[in-house]
Amino acid sequence: MRKYNVAVIGVGAVGEEMLRVLRQRDFPVDQLKVFARSARTVVVDGQSYQVETLNENSFKGMDIALFAGTEGDKGAAVTYAPHAIKAGCVVIDNGADFRMRPDVPLVVPEANAADVKKHKGIIANPNCSTVQMVVALAPIKKKAGLKRIIVSTYQAVSGSGRGGVVQTEEEFRAWASQSGKDVPKHMDQRIAFNVFPHIGSFDDEGYTSEEMKLVNETHKILHDNKIKISATVVRVPVKTGHSEAVYIETAKPISPEKVRALLRKSPGICVIDDPKNKLYPMPVDVEGKDETFVGRIRRDPAVKNGLWLWVVADNLRKGAATNAVQIAEELIRQELV
């Protein structure tokens, strides 16, 4: 079997998980190079990785570049993805910079694996909260159509990067020791014993950029701009694992029993739905897992074809690293790299 030279850019919350996922999935790696802003050695699961400082020439001889750096104009992907493409790499980017560009496929393999073949050098990984919602809804859309989605998220602090985890731990530590220490804020608000409805920046309608990602990215992945989608995103003091209360209206009637049966046989989904026996998905149980977990599937008695689902996944794995590596596997499967 052919092996590939792989570059991982960034060794923060997602980059570290990327190294773990590549190993755990036995990805056919020939040469692995790891880049960040500063050179050092990092150890993941007992395995040492030499981290080099990223520069324009870092991609020579590489086949696949998995970007997990910072976003924005001066971020890793905007600055260095063009150099990676010039060197012959296929770029898979975790950030938001390229996701909505018409020439960049936005891929969740369980929903739109065929889109990878449209790539012109870059494939984008969707936002973590979008990935898990789309995994759960794609089979339902195929079977019964989707007219409406209303989603409220309960997003873990690792979703804001390693700095979010550090802030949370320090706030709880300061509370436990009663030190009165003022903890610097990586996120917009205090998170210990708190939740806040603010991830990203607000637009003039009052929605955050994270909320609009759920709308626009879902339309793009499901190839359907007609689905009416509205979102409220909330940061909660959970380390890893995003939860979502997802309300849908399907075009055709489908019972909760049929949804359960359908999702049970759909790829990448694990149904845990026995609430009377206290069985439903929770972030503490999904950390380190690759599936999207679905439970609390129930009918809305007031609205025709209305259903509720509770959807939980590890934001660093299926929401980021695992999905990116699955896209790379899809490139290999479709002989596109």
Ligand X SMILES: NC(=O)c1ccc[n+]([C@@H]2O[C@H](COP(=O)([O-])OP(=O)(O)OC[C@H]3O[C@@H](n4cnc5c(N)ncnc54)[C@H](OP(=O)(O)O)[C@@H]3O)[C@@H](O)[C@H]2O)c1
Distance in Å, CB of 245 to ligand X, minimum: 19
- Alpha carbons 30 and 130: distance in angstroms, whole number: 32
CA distance 108 to 81: 20
Cα(324)–Cα(336) distance, rounded to whole angstroms?
Answer: 15
- Residue among 83, 89, 119, 128 flagged as catalytic: 128
| Minimum distance, C-beta of residue 7 to ligand X, in the bound complex (Å) | 11
DSSP lists the bridge partners of residue 229 as 149
User: In terms of CB distance, is 135 or 307 closer to ligand X?
Assistant: 135
In the chain, the DSSP E strands lie at 4-9, 29-36, 40-44, 47-53, 64-67, 90-93, 122-124, 146-154, 228-232, 242-250, 269-271, 292-299, 306-313
Least spacing, CB of residue 156 vs ligand X, in Å: 7
Phi, psi of 324 (to 5 degrees): -65, -45
Determine whether 242 is an active site residue.
yes
198 is catalytic: no
Q: Please say which residue, 17 or 249, places its beta carbon nearer to ligand X.
A: 17
- Judged by beta carbon, residue 167 or residue 266, the one nearer ligand X is 167
**Taking the mean position of all CA atoms in its chain, how far away is CA 112?**
15
Candidate list 198, 223, 242, 270, residue with the active-site label: 242
Nearest distance from C-beta of residue 316 to ligand X, angstroms: 5
Closer residue to ligand X in complex, CB, 166/262: 166
The residue number with the shortest CB distance to ligand X is: 12
Q: Return the number of the residue (289 or 299) whose C-beta is nearest ligand X.
A: 289
Residue with tokens 């209303």: 150
Rounded to a whole number of angstroms, the minimum distance from the CB of residue 325 to ligand X is 13
Binding site for ligand X (CB under 6 A): 9-15, 35-38, 54, 68-71, 75-76, 79, 94-95, 128, 158-159, 161-163, 315-316, 319-320
Sign of the dihedral defined by the CA atoms of residues 208, 216, 313, 120, in that order: negative
Q: Are 311 and 133 in contact (CB under 8 A)?
A: yes
- Would you please indicate which residues are annotated as catalytic (active-site) residues? 128, 242
